[in-house]
Amino acid sequence: MKLDPLGDLRATRQCGELRASDAGQPVLLLGWVQRRRDLGHLIFLDLRDRTGLAQIVANKQKQPEAHARADQCRSEFVIGVIGAVAKREKPNPALPSGEVEVVAEKIFLLNEARTPPFALEAETSASEETRLRHRYLDLRRPPLLRNLRTRHRVVLAIRRFLDREDFYEIETPFLTRSTPEGARDYLVPSRVHPGHFYALPQSPQLFKQLLMIAGFDRYFQIVRCFRDEDFRADRQAEFTQLDLEMSFIQPEAVFRVVEGVMKFGFAAANIPVQGPFPRLTYAEALARFGTDKPDTRFGLELADVSAVFKAARAALKIELPVHAFVVSGAAAQTSRKQLDAFADFVKQQGGRALYYAKVTDKGVESPLEKTISGRGLDWLQEATKAAAGDLILIVPADPAQVAGAPHGPTTTVIGALRAHVAQELKLIPAGKWNFLWVTDFPLFEWTPTSSGWVSSHHPFTAPADDDLDKLEAEPGKVRSKAYDLVLNGWELGSGSIRIHRQDVQQRIFRVLGLSDEEAKERFGFFLEALTYGTPPHGGIALGIDRIVALLCGEKSLREVIAFPKTAQAQDLMADAPARVSDAQLDELGLTLKPPKKT
Ligand code: ASP
């Protein structure tokens, strides 16, 4: 096929922006052929660029040359069109440019295209695997184009806001040492230092603190972070954070800045957000919602009904505390099958059992009657304030949790059930954006597997001033100056006021089981820096991919990342990770062991 050169063809307008008021105007459009319809003497082309579609019409009698070129066009051919905008006889209300079409005078065929492996329409039935293998084609589909445009606008609005608030954006290294965020590091072997490795940053945590020590006062960065985690459905091996840090502040200052970030970022996607956001302590969040990231768009708040089950505890083989929530008006419509499905869900979550009770006009009915008696059921109704027609769902504390982690939360199973029931029974109202700060997290968590304390957030988080003297004696009771930002049940980010005193930092490392030597070996440079006049400081990091996904109404982070990885951390298009040649391994001084049998 004979192709035309681009020469000095320049688009004068964009396809998606043509309107009735443009009728009569000459235009030059450049783009891809979305579709071609051949009516014999008339050929219609839908021409696409990143703004949308424009209809082109080529008339055999009037413009035989343009018609002949249009005849050669196929899907995804790249063409240029010179013509005049004309009002359509039959407008297409589904298209923003649907009132007009371009009558082609000349068509330039700039490139041909193979038939794409899937239709590049808004809706596609192609598997995600096929889409990811040909991501450059997938990205031509309107939803992805729209998502990446939203992402650009949101990130730009955030940058503008932070610039106005006097933050500097400063880059930090990718080739560095391990940063402790609780995941495995991606390691990069050094050729010039055989046997030595860089670690890709799990976050810029230490560097942003070093920038505070350096006196930069207000730092931010929209930055890629790398975490080699076990496969989890909606995690990305590399993801983007808005990372920020400030000096001489209390948490209030971080809250104010982040509320502004959300206000301006969401406004860029036409969603109004108003601060200040409500706050809940960690203890309150667990007691009322059974999670440290509560979705507050719906009720179903938990009630502690342990007193009702005290006597029956042994007979039921359960542990206290026992919690319940009421699904208002759901007694009649919730079938046995649905209740069984909820019970299965509780088991999947590691829970011991699910009990239920239905409040009818005649009183409370429940299979529990045999064990806790009618009086017990009346207490249950009283404790949960359930009314006639309501369903009460009850979950005892998970025994494994109670035994293994004495300070661990005991409401997480019922918390998960609460969210599941809301989803299944469609109790979540649309169009709500419920932001929330969760504060006062415990500084440490007990890990039964390694019988030791680990940081709930990371080891640079400051303990609450009032709890400093409990550090060694009662680590489980020490609260931290950490906070999370939660939106509709999603954790958007975590942050904290940091430890700025070297002596406190050392005490924390000891509680974490790191000897002074080990701490020095891993973080020596940082501990040294702390001794040179570290200002009190703190910050936060927010997940940009998650924020944009929520704004775009997408469930998967992959829908808002141009070139994402699968849940197995693979890039299906570039086929990464991949084997490397023996020569490359030799250069790095590496030999591969045979893969471990699993
Ligand atoms: N570095 C932390 C993280 O990535 C956030 C912070 O403490 O600022 O979760």
pLDDT at 319 over 90: no
Per-residue pLDDT of 381-393, as tens digits, reads 999 999 999 999 9
Ligand 1 atom closest to the CA of 539, numbered from 1: 8
Return the closest-CA partner of residue 543 out of 560, 526, 518.
560
286 lines ligand 1 (CB under 6 A): no
Sign for the pseudo-dihedral over CA of 13, 18, 23, 29: positive
d(CA 322, CA 314): 13
CB 445 within 8 A of CB 412: no
Higher pLDDT: 411 or 25? It is 25
pLDDT for the residue numbered 589: 93
C-alpha of residue 188 to centroid of ligand 1, in Å: 22
Residue 449 has pLDDT above 90, yes or no: no
540 lines ligand 1 (CB under 6 A): yes
Cα of 423 vs centre of ligand 1, distance in Å, is 30
Nearest atom within ligand 1 for CA of residue 202 = 4
Confidence (pLDDT) at 405: 60
Average pLDDT in the chain? 94
Tokens coding 495: 């942050």
The CA distance from 68 to 543, in Å, is 52
Instruction: Name the residue with the closest Cα to ligand 1, atom 9.
Output: 494
Can you tell me which atom of ligand 1 is nearest the CA of 482?
Answer: 7
Measured torsion, CA atoms of residues 539, 540, 544, 550, in degrees rounded to the nearest 10:
-130
The answer on pLDDT for 489 being more than 70 is: yes
Give tens-digit pLDDT for 59-107. Answer: 999 999 999 999 999 999 999 999 999 999 999 999 999 999 999 999 9
Residue 596 confidence class, pLDDT cut points 50, 70, 90: confident
C-alpha 136/C-alpha 507 separation (Å) is: 51
Ligand 1 atom 1: the closest Cα is on which residue?
Answer: 205
Q: How many of the other CB atoms lie within 10 Å of CB of 135?
A: 19
Q: Which of 494, 499, 544 to mutate to test the pocket of ligand 1 (most atoms within 8 A of CB)?
A: 494
Distance of CA 540 from the midpoint of ligand 1 (Å): 6
CB contact at 8 A, 2 and 112 = no
Q: Can you point out the beta strands (E) in 14-88?
A: 26-38, 42-49, 52-59, 78-87
* Residue identifier of the C-alpha nearest atom 5 of ligand 1: 541
Residue 598, pLDDT score: 67
Amino acid at 368: L
* Interatomic CA distance for residues 465 and 248, integer angstroms: 16
